[in-house]
Structures are given as structure tokens and as C-alpha cells.
Amino acid sequence: MEYFLQQLINGITLGAIYGLIAIGYSMVYGIVGMINFAHGDIFMVAAFIALISFLLFDLLGISWLPLTLLLVLVLTMMLTSLYGWTIERLAYKPLRHSFRLAPLISAIGLSIFLQNLVQIAQGARVKPLPFTIEGHFVLLDSAHFSVILSHLQIIIVISTLLLMLVFSFIINHSAMGRAQRACEQDKKMAALLGVNVDRTIALTFVMGSALAAVAALMFLLYYGVVDFMVGFLVGIKAFTAAVLGGIGSLAGAMFGGLLLGLIEVFWAAYFSSEYKDVAAFTVLILLLIFRPNGLLGKAEIAKV
């Protein structure tokens, strides 16, 4: 029982990180109708920005951890949002009215470009983080196993829930959210009614990139290492989480992230860690066969 509870905590923590990245996929798909396959590498760039920021603030003598975390978070979100805005300007806006595969190919090209750019700039070796958030609570303690809930895991889960609530409020109750929902339904009609479609789409990319930056900082603190290829696998898994929950749904993206995290962790704990990715993608295949719209997705009705 203790072992099961520990893996449940680990799975929820990992799923929260996947969910934050998956929200970025869902937001872009909901507005533009296309998948941003460079989003995983935006996450990777954010992780490196966070790592460099930690080292920079350490050189400047800022050693109080709460202040350092706040400064790193703000700087990482700002710079990563700039990357997201740039991708929308370069890879999506010029191809918005082209055939549907053109922006997809462009995003894949940008993904490869970002991977090679970071590899050249930072090297191919794994980069460790010399900082960590220590401390934990012992929930259950037995003679054979102790259930531990770390302070970092609490921060990750609470931050994810707060961000989920904030972004849900923005989408459902703000002028920006109304503009996004209008563009999702009909961009041409939204433009005729006074919605700045270009600005709305750009801000959607910025918001998704900011969430990826938060997830990258959490990932970096949780695992303590980062390399230039981390965005590929994490990005694919986050996309899988978005599809599991229902692409285009924020709640579905978070639910899919939690589900994927639990599948990975429990498979690695009770079977084999070498095949945890196989288990996750097998669940995705079965879901697409029997429920192609995802667990919380709705069937789209197209007028012809």
C-alpha cells in the first residue's frame, strides 16, 4: 500500500508537468486548428533559459532561494514567450492561408532548428542544475517503506492547479478569452466583428509558451538535468496527453497529462521502466480507436 501511494504521488507530479505543456498544444490547436510541433522545443529552450538564469543570479550574489525562483520564473516566462511569438510570426502567420501541411512542415523545421541551435550553443552533454528545493513530509512510515511528499512536489501540483484555474478564467470570462473563442469558431466573422485576429493568435502562442516555461522550470527543479533533446520526447508525450484528454480542451489537456503521468509511473514501478513509453502510446492507440475525440473532447460538427 505504501509503495502504491508513493507512485501515485510521483505520477500526479509528472502528470502535472505534462498537463501544463499539453495546454499549450490545445490552445494553439483550438485557435489556429493546427499542431505546433515546435512547442516541445520551446519547452527545451525554456529549461536552458532557466538553467542559465539560475547560474547568472548566483554569480550576482542573489542566494535567497524564494527570490531567485521568482526572478528565474519571470525571466524564463518573458524570454520563452518571445520565442513563442517569434515562431508564430515566422512559421504560422505567413502560411495561415496556405494548405494545411505547410505550417506543420514549417513548425517541424523550426523544431529541428531550435534543437541544433541549442546543441551548438550549449553542447550535447547533459547539463546539471546545482540548486534544489529540499525538504519533505513523511506521510506513512513502515518498517519496509516510507511514503514521502517533497516540498517541490507540493509546489508543482499547487502551481499547476492555480495556473489551470487562472487560464480557465481568462478563457471563459475575459475579453481576451472571448476573442479566442470567437477566432476558434470563425476567424473571418470574428474579424468582421472587430476582433484583431492576428493579435489574438499571437497572444495565444505567447500564453502557451509561458505555460511551457513554467513547466520547464518545474521539470528542471524536479529532475535536475536538461539536454538539447529533452524537448522532443517531452513534447511528444505532452501532445499525447492533449490527444488523450481531447485536443482543444484545456481541462482535457490537464486530465490527459495526469493520466499519462500515472500510466508511465505505475508501469515503470510494477513492470518495466524500459517499456513505460510503449505503455503510454499503446493506451493512446486504443483510445484513438475507440474514442477518437479523446476522453473529454467533443465531436466536431462541420457544416457542408
Rounded distance, CA 181 to CA 190, Å? 9
Rounded distance, CA 108 to CA 101, Å? 11
Quick one: how many helices (H) and strands (E) in the chain?
Answer: 11, 4
CA dihedral 146, 150, 259, 8 (to 10 degrees): 10
Neighbours of 177 (CB within 10 A): 16
User: CATH code at 250?
Assistant: 1.10.3470
* Residue ranges making up the domain that contains 242: 2-290
Residue 127 DSSP SS3:
strand
Q: How many residues can be counted in the chain?
A: 304
Number of domains making up the chain: 1
Residue 300's Cβ-count burial label (10 Å; 0-12, 13-18, 19+) is exposed
Name the pTM for this structure. Answer: 0.90
Instruction: Confirm whether 104 is domain-assigned.
Output: yes
At residue 15, the pLDDT reads 92
Instruction: Confirm whether 230 is domain-assigned.
Output: yes
At residue 304, the pLDDT reads 47
Rounded distance, CA 216 to CA 54, Å? 13
Contact 226, 267 (CB under 8 A): no
At residue 168, the pLDDT reads 84
Which set of grid coordinates corresponds to residue 211? 505555460
Instruction: Confirm whether 223 is domain-assigned.
Output: yes
The residue behind cell 529532475 is 223
At residue 135, the pLDDT reads 84
Instruction: Confirm whether 33 is domain-assigned.
Output: yes
Contact 84, 205 (CB under 8 A): yes
List of the chain residues with pLDDT < 50: 304
For CA atoms 182, 187, 193, 197, give the dihedral sign: positive
| Best CA proximity match to 206, nearest among 167, 234, 236 | 167
Instruction: Confirm whether 70 is domain-assigned.
Output: yes
Instruction: Confirm whether 295 is domain-assigned.
Output: no
